Protein backbone atom coordinates (compact mmCIF):
# COMPACT_ATOMS: atom_id res chain seq x y z
CA UNK A 1 0.00 0.00 0.00
CA UNK A 2 1.26 3.52 0.69
CA UNK A 3 3.74 4.99 3.13
CA UNK A 4 3.07 8.41 4.60
CA UNK A 5 6.09 9.47 6.68
CA UNK A 6 4.38 12.53 8.16
CA UNK A 7 1.39 11.58 10.28
CA UNK A 8 1.43 14.85 12.19
CA UNK A 9 -0.56 16.66 9.51
CA UNK A 10 -4.21 16.20 8.66
CA UNK A 11 -3.49 14.78 5.14
CA UNK A 12 -0.81 12.53 6.66
CA UNK A 13 -3.23 11.20 9.27
CA UNK A 14 -5.83 10.53 6.58
CA UNK A 15 -3.23 8.77 4.46
CA UNK A 16 -2.18 6.62 7.42
CA UNK A 17 -5.83 5.86 8.22
CA UNK A 18 -6.56 4.77 4.63
CA UNK A 19 -3.31 2.84 4.39
CA UNK A 20 -3.97 0.96 7.64
CA UNK A 21 -7.58 0.27 6.64
CA UNK A 22 -6.61 -1.28 3.33
CA UNK A 23 -3.38 -3.00 4.29
CA UNK A 24 -4.04 -6.42 2.88
CA UNK A 25 -2.44 -8.87 0.50
CA UNK A 26 -4.16 -7.16 -2.41
CA UNK A 27 -2.50 -8.97 -5.28
CA UNK A 28 -5.59 -10.78 -6.51
CA UNK A 29 -9.32 -11.13 -5.99
CA UNK A 30 -9.11 -14.33 -3.93
CA UNK A 31 -6.85 -12.71 -1.31
CA UNK A 32 -8.66 -9.39 -1.15
CA UNK A 33 -11.87 -9.05 -3.13
CA UNK A 34 -12.75 -5.64 -1.65
CA UNK A 35 -9.46 -4.03 -2.65
CA UNK A 36 -9.55 -5.64 -6.09
CA UNK A 37 -13.10 -4.40 -6.69
CA UNK A 38 -12.14 -0.91 -5.47
CA UNK A 39 -9.15 -0.90 -7.82
CA UNK A 40 -11.39 -1.87 -10.75
CA UNK A 41 -13.91 0.85 -9.97
CA UNK A 42 -11.27 3.55 -9.52
CA UNK A 43 -9.56 2.63 -12.79
CA UNK A 44 -12.91 2.80 -14.60
CA UNK A 45 -13.39 6.26 -13.08
CA UNK A 46 -9.95 7.24 -14.39
CA UNK A 47 -10.89 6.01 -17.87
CA UNK A 48 -14.01 8.19 -17.68
CA UNK A 49 -12.02 11.21 -16.44
CA UNK A 50 -9.60 10.89 -19.35
CA UNK A 51 -12.48 10.44 -21.80
CA UNK A 52 -11.23 7.06 -22.97
CA UNK A 53 -13.50 4.83 -25.06
CA UNK A 54 -15.39 2.04 -23.30
CA UNK A 55 -12.92 -0.58 -24.58
CA UNK A 56 -10.52 0.68 -21.87
CA UNK A 57 -12.94 -0.11 -19.05
CA UNK A 58 -13.38 -3.33 -17.09
CA UNK A 59 -16.87 -3.77 -18.53
CA UNK A 60 -15.22 -4.46 -21.90
CA UNK A 61 -12.00 -6.29 -22.75
CA UNK A 62 -10.05 -3.47 -21.12
CA UNK A 63 -9.55 -2.62 -17.50
CA UNK A 64 -6.29 -2.53 -15.68
CA UNK A 65 -4.38 -2.89 -12.48
CA UNK A 66 -2.39 -0.47 -10.38
CA UNK A 67 1.31 -1.31 -10.38
CA UNK A 68 3.81 -0.48 -7.67
CA UNK A 69 6.39 0.93 -10.07
CA UNK A 70 7.00 1.75 -13.72
CA UNK A 71 9.29 -1.28 -13.98
CA UNK A 72 6.47 -3.56 -12.76
CA UNK A 73 4.20 -2.00 -15.36
CA UNK A 74 6.72 -2.66 -18.17
CA UNK A 75 7.09 -6.32 -17.14
CA UNK A 76 3.31 -6.78 -16.93
CA UNK A 77 2.66 -5.15 -20.30
CA UNK A 78 5.47 -7.06 -22.00
CA UNK A 79 4.25 -10.43 -20.73
CA UNK A 80 0.70 -9.58 -21.80
CA UNK A 81 1.96 -8.51 -25.25
CA UNK A 82 4.06 -11.67 -25.58
CA UNK A 83 1.19 -13.97 -24.68
CA UNK A 84 -1.31 -12.15 -26.90
CA UNK A 85 1.12 -12.19 -29.83
CA UNK A 86 1.80 -15.90 -29.43
CA UNK A 87 -1.88 -16.75 -28.95
CA UNK A 88 -2.81 -14.86 -32.12
CA UNK A 89 0.11 -16.39 -34.06
CA UNK A 90 -0.85 -19.96 -33.16
CA UNK A 91 -4.66 -19.82 -33.05
CA UNK A 92 -4.95 -21.37 -36.53
CA UNK A 93 -3.48 -24.67 -35.26
CA UNK A 94 -6.35 -27.00 -34.36
CA UNK A 95 -4.45 -29.71 -32.46
CA UNK A 96 -3.81 -28.60 -28.88
CA UNK A 97 -0.41 -30.30 -28.55
CA UNK A 98 0.80 -28.95 -31.89
CA UNK A 99 -0.41 -25.47 -30.91
CA UNK A 100 1.47 -25.66 -27.61
CA UNK A 101 4.64 -26.84 -29.37
CA UNK A 102 4.35 -24.02 -31.91
CA UNK A 103 3.68 -21.51 -29.11
CA UNK A 104 6.92 -22.36 -27.30
CA UNK A 105 8.99 -22.79 -30.47
CA UNK A 106 7.91 -19.36 -31.68
CA UNK A 107 8.59 -17.81 -28.27
CA UNK A 108 12.32 -18.42 -28.75
CA UNK A 109 12.28 -16.01 -31.73
CA UNK A 110 10.51 -13.11 -30.03
CA UNK A 111 12.34 -9.83 -29.55
CA UNK A 112 11.38 -6.72 -27.60
CA UNK A 113 12.63 -3.35 -28.80
CA UNK A 114 13.51 -0.13 -27.01
CA UNK A 115 15.71 2.83 -27.85
CA UNK A 116 19.24 3.14 -26.51
CA UNK A 117 17.88 5.98 -24.37
CA UNK A 118 14.98 3.95 -22.91
CA UNK A 119 15.04 2.99 -19.25
CA UNK A 120 16.77 -0.30 -18.42
CA UNK A 121 13.43 -1.71 -17.27
CA UNK A 122 12.66 -2.73 -20.86
CA UNK A 123 15.75 -4.92 -21.12
CA UNK A 124 15.13 -6.36 -17.65
CA UNK A 125 11.49 -7.07 -18.53
CA UNK A 126 12.65 -8.94 -21.64
CA UNK A 127 14.85 -11.13 -19.45
CA UNK A 128 11.96 -11.84 -17.08
CA UNK A 129 9.61 -12.56 -20.01
CA UNK A 130 12.15 -14.95 -21.54
CA UNK A 131 12.53 -13.03 -24.79
CA UNK A 132 15.37 -11.24 -26.53
CA UNK A 133 16.01 -7.50 -26.49
CA UNK A 134 17.38 -5.27 -29.24
CA UNK A 135 18.15 -1.57 -28.86
CA UNK A 136 17.10 0.93 -31.51
CA UNK A 137 19.81 3.59 -31.96
CA UNK A 138 19.03 7.08 -30.67
CA UNK A 139 22.21 9.01 -31.54
CA UNK A 140 23.28 12.43 -30.33
CA UNK A 141 22.91 13.95 -33.80
CA UNK A 142 19.20 13.03 -33.68
CA UNK A 143 18.80 14.65 -30.27
CA UNK A 144 18.88 11.20 -28.63
CA UNK A 145 15.55 10.43 -30.30
CA UNK A 146 14.52 7.17 -31.89
CA UNK A 147 13.66 7.88 -35.50
CA UNK A 148 11.35 6.01 -37.83
CA UNK A 149 14.26 5.11 -40.10
CA UNK A 150 16.31 3.71 -37.18
CA UNK A 151 13.30 1.69 -36.02
CA UNK A 152 12.67 0.39 -39.55
CA UNK A 153 16.34 -0.62 -39.91
CA UNK A 154 16.29 -2.43 -36.54
CA UNK A 155 13.05 -4.27 -37.37
CA UNK A 156 14.39 -5.28 -40.78
CA UNK A 157 17.60 -6.60 -39.17
CA UNK A 158 15.55 -8.57 -36.63
CA UNK A 159 13.45 -10.11 -39.40
CA UNK A 160 16.60 -10.94 -41.38
CA UNK A 161 17.95 -12.70 -38.27
CA UNK A 162 14.75 -14.77 -38.05
CA UNK A 163 13.42 -12.84 -35.05
CA UNK A 164 9.87 -11.57 -34.54
CA UNK A 165 9.55 -8.09 -33.00
CA UNK A 166 6.42 -7.93 -30.84
CA UNK A 167 6.98 -5.06 -28.40
CA UNK A 168 8.40 -1.52 -28.46
CA UNK A 169 9.01 0.81 -25.56
CA UNK A 170 8.59 4.36 -26.78
CA UNK A 171 10.19 6.96 -24.53
CA UNK A 172 8.50 10.35 -24.50
Calculate ∠ Cα 77-112-105, nearest 5°: 100
Check if the beta carbon of residue 60 is closer than 8 Å to that of residue 54. Answer: yes
Condensed to tens digits (0 to 9), the pLDDT of residues 42-82 reads 899 999 999 999 988 998 877 888 887 889 999 999 999 99
Q: Label residue 162 exposed, middle or buried (CB < 10 Å: 0-12, 13-18, 19+).
A: exposed
Q: Which contacts of 10-14 are long-range, i.e. CB under 8 A and separated by 24 or more positions?
A: none
Condensed to tens digits (0 to 9), the pLDDT of residues 4-36 reads 455 577 777 777 777 777 666 666 778 778 878
Q: Which of 107, 99, 101, 67 is nearest to 83 (CA)?
A: 107
Amino acid sequence: MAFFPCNSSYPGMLGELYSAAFTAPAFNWICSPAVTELETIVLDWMADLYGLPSCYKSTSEGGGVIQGSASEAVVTVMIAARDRYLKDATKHIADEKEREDAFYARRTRLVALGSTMAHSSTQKAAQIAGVRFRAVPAPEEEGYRMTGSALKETVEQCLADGLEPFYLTATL
